[in-house]
Chains A and B, each alone.
Chain A
Amino acid sequence: MSSGDEVPRLLRGLTSDGRPLSLTEHLALHGPVPAARARRDPDRNLVAEIERSGLRGRGGAAFPVALKLAAVGARRGRRVVVVNGCEGEPVSSKDRVLLNQSPHLVLDGATVAARAVGAAQIVVATKLDSAAVVEHAVAERVRARLDEPTPRVVVVPDRYVAGQESALVNFLNSGRSAPTLVPPRPFERGVGGQPTLIQNAETVANLALIAGNGAEWFRRLGPAADPGTVLVTLTGAVERAGLYEVARGTSISVLLQRAGGPSAPVQAFLVGGYAGSWLTAAAGREACLDEASMAARGAVVAVGAVTVLPDTACGVAETARILRYLAEESAGQCGPCVHGLASIAGSADELARGIAERDVVTRLERWAGQIAGRGACHHPDGAVRMLASALRCFSDDVAAHRSGRPCPAAPPAGSRHRRGVLR
């Protein structure tokens, strides 16, 4: 076992050619997971160890994992563990890389979760491009008589909201990838009506490391309130874009150094993906990749995506493009999301082109206030958070666009500009 003070942990031993680690290679790196078989009853000692680790969910909400484990374990029924590898976020690739290159680490973690809650069933939900690798890894484990229960691999549609918890449960139950009204929450009534634990693939991989190395080891990296590492998908104007693993609490400027620095003068950072927050270059460099540091700047780590906006790009135009994407990715079920996001995207687009009415910012703010918290899921809330951060971060640009001065980076009149400079 490693001493624990260094990264990478989750990405340890990954090959540069992107092929998956075999079971033999994986066991040589990480060793076997102790007592990997699930039993009928929850394993309270294991849950207590995970609680001591302080692990929080890596899917976006940063909810304490032990609380979720205890909530599912306390319910009666044939409990289900779902590994959420849907990763609908366009600027995040961490779960895809984990599933495609270290599938056994994720599967180890799934068995740990299953043992912790006493699950009768494990489901691994992935996008199509990870399914074959995970299927192959499950087959390797079946031959080695490793897992009980044997994980079932399910391919989920590649849509933004597909990985939202209730949408994932709905898809597994009915084949419809759309959120449902909560409560009931998945831990109360989830897959097949049974108590269901849903954890992001990165979270689950961390469970494997905690079971193998202990809570004490896990806490050696990162702040006490938010320990461990974070997988960061770094994109945009940076010399070496890609996936990085750093201790939580690492500043964005240190992360940038590891990636060879920015490839152009930095204007701003988008942290946490399309539903995340814009930070100015100065604020972003100082910001650290842990929830407390981000919260102090009105942002969230969420899925750990960091996108570098160069000073040649237009933050207003990028924001408008992302809002259009998010509006089109609405599941189309809730009025405030369907109409609200479409209206917001339309006005943001007009603003970017310099053809918006004078009161456009007031209108955007009113709409943002109206739709927050009013969808069945948090899709509109994420869009509104990103918009609010853009109005703060690019306030000078917004004022310039509002007085009819589109910048050269803005889309030409008449185009729908689906592609931006970031992606």
Chain B
Amino acid sequence: MTWRLRVDPIACDGRGLCAELLPECISLDDWGYPIIESPEVSGRLMTHARRAVAMCPTLALLLEDTP
């Protein structure tokens, strides 16, 4: 099963926690908003991805399963 990261850009406030917790997948643009560099998450990164999702203060980071 592959999971995909997605940002809700309306909810996102650009706090930047996700890029600190999951630098393997997420970087920040020039204004501090997340860019999903590699959306597909699997294996050992899942724990980190779940933590990043849970820690987002505005609940803007989504982890969705892909059929």
Residues of A within 8 Å of B8, CB to CB, are 181, 376
Q: Is the CB of A339 within 8 A of B9?
A: no
Compute how far the CA of A179 lies from the CA of B9 in the bound complex, rounded to whole angstroms: 11
Q: Is the CB of A340 within 8 A of B10?
A: no
The residue in chain A whose Cβ has the minimal distance to the Cβ of B29 is: A370
Q: Is residue B33 contacting chain A, with contact meaning CB distance below 8 A?
A: yes
Q: Is residue B13 contacting chain A, with contact meaning CB distance below 8 A?
A: yes
- How many chain B residues touch A (CB < 8 A): the figure is 14
Compute how far the CA of A181 lies from the CA of B33 in the bound complex, rounded to whole angstroms: 16
Q: Is the CB of A180 within 8 A of B10?
A: yes
Q: Is the CB of B31 within 8 A of A374?
A: no
**Other-chain contact of A374, B11, B13, B32, B35 (Cβ < 8 Å):** B35
Q: Is residue A325 contacting chain B, with contact meaning CB distance below 8 A?
A: no
- How many chain A residues touch B (CB < 8 A): the figure is 18
The residue in chain A whose Cβ has the minimal distance to the Cβ of B36 is: A374
Task: Indicate with 1 or 0, residue by residue over A98-133, a CB within 8 angstroms of chain B CB atoms.
Answer: 000000000000000000000000000000000000
Task: Indicate with 1 or 0, residue by residue over A351-365, a CB within 8 angstroms of chain B CB atoms.
Answer: 000000000000000
Residues of B within 8 Å of A181, CB to CB, are 8-11
Q: Is residue A343 contacting chain B, with contact meaning CB distance below 8 A?
A: yes
**Other-chain contact of A371, B7, B12, B29 (Cβ < 8 Å):** B29
Q: Is residue A90 contacting chain B, with contact meaning CB distance below 8 A?
A: no
Residues of B within 8 Å of A376, CB to CB, are 8-10
Contacts A180-B10, A334-B10 given; does A343 touch B30 at CB 8 Å = yes
Q: Is residue B14 contacting chain A, with contact meaning CB distance below 8 A?
A: yes
* Interfacial residues of chain B within 12-41, with CB under 8 A of chain A in the complex: 12-14, 29-33, 35
Q: Is the CB of A367 within 8 A of B12?
A: no
**Other-chain contact of B9, A333, A366, A367, A370 (Cβ < 8 Å):** A333
Residues of B within 8 Å of A333, CB to CB, are 9-10
Compute how far the CA of A376 lies from the CA of B9 in the bound complex, rounded to whole angstroms: 6
Q: Is the CB of B35 within 8 A of A335?
A: no
* Interfacial residues of chain A within 338-395, with CB under 8 A of chain B in the complex: 339-340, 343, 366-367, 370-371, 374-376
Q: Is the CB of A367 within 8 A of B30?
A: yes
**Other-chain contact of A334, B12, B30, B32, B35 (Cβ < 8 Å):** B12
Distance to closest chain A CB from B27 (angstroms): 10
Distance to closest chain B CB from A391 (angstroms): 18
Q: Is the CB of A336 within 8 A of B29?
A: yes
Q: Is the CB of A343 within 8 A of B31?
A: yes
Interface SS majority for chain A: helix
Compute how far the CA of A112 lies from the CA of B11 in the bound complex, rounded to whole angstroms: 38
Compute how far the CA of A215 lies from the CA of B10 in the bound complex, rounded to whole angstroms: 42
The residue in chain B whose Cβ has the minimal distance to the Cβ of A342 is: B31
Q: Is the CB of B35 within 8 A of A370?
A: yes
Distance to closest chain B CB from A177 (angstroms): 14
Residues of B within 8 Å of A179, CB to CB, are 10
Distance to closest chain A CB from B44 (angstroms): 27
**Other-chain contact of B31, A180, A339, A366, A375 (Cβ < 8 Å):** A339
Compute how far the CA of A333 lies from the CA of B33 in the bound complex, rounded to whole angstroms: 13
Compute how far the CA of A333 lies from the CA of B31 in the bound complex, rounded to whole angstroms: 14
Q: Is the CB of A370 within 8 A of B10?
A: no
Q: Is the CB of B9 within 8 A of A340?
A: no
The residue in chain A whose Cβ has the minimal distance to the Cβ of B62 is: A181
Task: Indicate with 1 or 0, residue by residue over A177-217, a CB within 8 angstroms of chain B CB atoms.
Answer: 00111000000000000000000000000000000000000
22 intermolecular pairs with C-beta atoms under 8 Å apart: A179-B10, A181-B10, A333-B9, A334-B9, A334-B10, A335-B14, A335-B33, A336-B31, A339-B30, A339-B31, A340-B29, A340-B31, A343-B30, A343-B31, A366-B30, A367-B30, A370-B30, A371-B29, A374-B7, A374-B33, A374-B35, A376-B9
* Interface residues in chain B, defined as those with a beta carbon under 8 Å from any beta carbon in chain A: 7-14, 29-33, 35
Question: Which 7 pairs between the two chains have the least Cβ-Cβ distance?
Answer: A334-B9, A339-B31, A335-B33, A370-B29, A333-B10, A335-B14, A376-B10
Interface contacts beyond A336-B29, A339-B30, A343-B31: sample of 16 additional A-B pairs, CB < 8 Å, sorted by A:
A179-B10, A181-B9, A181-B11, A333-B10, A335-B9, A335-B13, A335-B31, A335-B32, A337-B9, A339-B33, A340-B29, A343-B30, A370-B29, A374-B9, A374-B29, A374-B33
